[in-house]
Structure formats: C-alpha cells, structure tokens
Amino acid sequence: MGACDRFDSLMWLSYLKGRLSADATAEMELHSASCNECRDQLDFFRKIIGIIELHSTAPPESWTKEAGEKFRLAGSNCDLSRVFGEMVFDSDLHDEKPIRSRTMEARHLIFDSPKVQVDLVMESSGRQLKSIIGQLLAKPGEHAEPFEESVLTITVASCTYTAVANRFGEFLFKIDAEMTGEPLELRYTFEEETCVILIPV
Ligand SMILES: [Zn+2]
C-alpha cells in the first residue's frame, strides 16, 4: 500500500507555515496538484496545523501547580533527576473529531513540564506508529530560549529514536513501529535538565 512519501511531515508543516523557499513551495504545489495521496496529506496537515494553533494557548495555572505537586510526591521514591511532564490535553479523551486521511490517523497531545510545554501529534495507521511531530514551546510569560539543538529521544517497543529540534522548537521522529500497549517514553533535555514524558497508547 505504498502511500506517496515524497514529502515528510515537517515539510508539510513548514509549507503550511510559509517557511519554505519559493522553489520548494512551487514543487510541493505542483506535485500535490497531480498526486491524490499528497493532496490528501496536505488536507491532513492543514487540519493538524489548525488544532496545534487552536490549542497552543497556555494550560491553566492550576494544572502546572498540580504537576509540580505530583512531581514532589513522585520524587520521594524515584530518581530526582527525572522530571515527569504532565499531560494536559489528549484529543483521544476529548470530544474532538479524530483527524483522518485515507491512510493516517492523528492524535494530539499536550504536556506541561517545569521548563517547557510540549505539543505532539502522533500519526499512526492502525497499531503502526508512523511518526511523531512536535514542538517545544516556551511557558507563558517566560523568555523563549532558542530551542535549536535540543535533543529528544523516544522509546517505542524498546527501540530508541532520536530527533533534534529546529530553532522553532519543532521536531520530527520517523518511527514506523508497532505500538505494543506499553507507554512510549519521550525524553528531552533543555537547559541541562532532562524531562521525561510517558505517553499512554
Ligand atoms: Zn505524492
């Protein structure tokens, strides 16, 4: 079932955000005009951009506080150098219409952690996790450090994948692994602190 994979997720997002060169933009437009699969992908990412921008407002302060308290509790019997991010939004748990294309489905998640907020869109096809696109975001009212070169890793079914954020904090994991039901473990280091996020699947 070879879906056309000429452009990856980050390319589509960059295209929709108007960040590509005129040449690359023209190439994507020209190709999408004649490729049904890419037109489908373009539709899919247009919806994803919509939800990312819709939800990119700050979580309520009470959530942040709650996350901090949970961490202090957890800290008593686990390694203090690990900081757990708190999930503050999951499209699977909200009455939000799932985003689907013919081949892909997307789930949108937002995590809050002491230093940054993390926005994730998991693309899957059945139980097969295809990719995760995401963005590290500055916390409301805080100075946005450059995210460039922030290294992220994710462990799926005991395989670890690595991604590096660009200067906008965006990152992409190309995965293509079956989700076994075990939570996925996302780690990132920012300002020398490592944060761990567990993603239930
Ligand atoms: Zn195509």
Structure token digits, residue 22: 């005129």
Q: Are residues 46 and 99 both part of a single domain? A: no
Q: What pLDDT, on a 0 to 100 scale, did the predictor assign at position 175?
A: 92
Q: Are residues 46 and 64 both part of a single domain? A: no
Q: What pLDDT, on a 0 to 100 scale, did the predictor assign at position 152?
A: 94
Q: Are residues 100 and 181 both part of a single domain? A: yes
Domain end call among 18, 35, 53: 53
Number of domains in the chain: 2
Range in 76-80, 127-131, 152-156, 185-189 with the lowest mean pLDDT: 76-80
Q: Which domain holds residue 76?
A: 60-199
Q: Are residues 92 and 190 both part of a single domain? A: yes
Residue 5 Cα, ligand 1 centroid: separation in angstroms? Answer: 6
Residue 4 belongs to a domain: no
Range in 47-61, 64-78, 79-93, 135-149 with the lowest mean pLDDT: 64-78
Coil, helix or strand for 94? coil
Residue 1 belongs to a domain: no
Residue 102 belongs to a domain: yes
Q: Are residues 68 and 137 both part of a single domain? A: yes
Range in 45-49, 133-137, 139-143 with the lowest mean pLDDT: 139-143
Which pTM does this prediction carry? Answer: 0.69
Q: Are residues 43 and 142 both part of a single domain? A: no
Evaluate whether 17 touches 53 at the Cβ level (below 8 Å): no
Residue 12 Cα, ligand 1 centroid: separation in angstroms? Answer: 12
Residue 116 Cα, ligand 1 centroid: separation in angstroms? Answer: 35
Band the pLDDT of 1: cuts 50, 70, 90.
Answer: very low
Taking a 5 Å cut-off on Cβ, the residues next to ion ligand 1 are 4, 6, 35, 38
